[in-house]
Amino acid sequence: MVGASAAPVVRTDRLVLRAVRPADLAVLERMWRDPLMRRHLGGPLPDDVVAKRRAGGGIGGFMVTLRFGEVVGWCHFGRYRTGELELSYVFLPEWWGRGYAREACAAAVGLAFEWFPGDARLIAVTQETNDRSVRLLEALGMTRVDAFEEFGARQVRYAVDRPGWAWEGCPGGRGERVGGPLAP
């Protein structure tokens, strides 16, 4: 949540996952409005939605930064309409292709299973045409469990079950859990 401590939650080999803070709003707003980043997310958000998000302050999730502090992306846990725990993420295009999304999302999967012990499964949904996201989810050990039409495009739902997921093989390793205010 904006305003929470910026203490790191997890450090991987190259990244830090930390709480969202007020100074991150400009980067988040870019993520909400940029046509390239929003291409597979239904397009840029309307002004009224952006204003509501900025005013609400309860953005949640965590910023993904390089070890020296530059923001490269954002990850979030929420509930999908089925009630399943869902991982969402957005990464800045200038950092695409460097493995940061894979490293951060691998750490996020580990956090999900730590923070939500009652959830046996974690899902993620992406557009079928979002090749980068599909490859990322498969690299995380997720498998395709559903495909459907929504928001005028073909969507795919991926899932990984707690017993089937392992840190091994994910770049950056398990990540070092360093505490922080984000655990539910």
CA distances from 10 to 36, 123, 163 (A): 28, 21, 22
Amino acid at 149: E
Q: Is residue 141 scored above 60 in pLDDT?
A: yes
DSSP state letter for 45? P
Instruction: Give the per-residue pLDDT at 52.
Output: 85
Q: Measure the CA–CA gap between 27 and 24, rounded to whole angstroms.
A: 5
Res 57: pLDDT: 63
CA distance 16 to 143: 26
Mean pLDDT value of segment 60-88:
93
pLDDT > 90 fraction of the chain, expressed in percent and rounded = 54
Tell me the whole-structure pTM to 2 decimals: 0.83
Residue 113: pLDDT band (50, 70, 90) is: confident
CB 106 within 8 A of CB 172: yes
Q: Answer whether 182's CB lies under 8 Å from 4's CB.
A: yes
pLDDT class of 152 with cuts at 50, 70, 90: confident
Mark out the alpha helices in 6-130 (DSSP H runs). 25-33, 47-56, 100-115
What pLDDT is recorded for position 54?
80
- Closest to 153 measured CA to CA, from 124, 126, 135: 126
Residue in the structure block whose two tokens are 């999304």: 101
CATH superfamily, domain at 8-171? Gcn5-related N-acetyltransferase (GNAT) (3.40.630.30)
Partners of residue 8 on adjacent β-strands: 18
CB atoms within 10 A of CB 18: 25
| pLDDT reported for residue 166 | 57
Domain boundaries, the chain: 8-171
CA dihedral 15→115→178→106, nearest 10 degrees, is -20
Among 44-53, 121-130, 175-184, the least confident range? 175-184
pLDDT surpasses 80 at 164 = no
Q: What is the mean pLDDT of residues 35-62?
A: 82
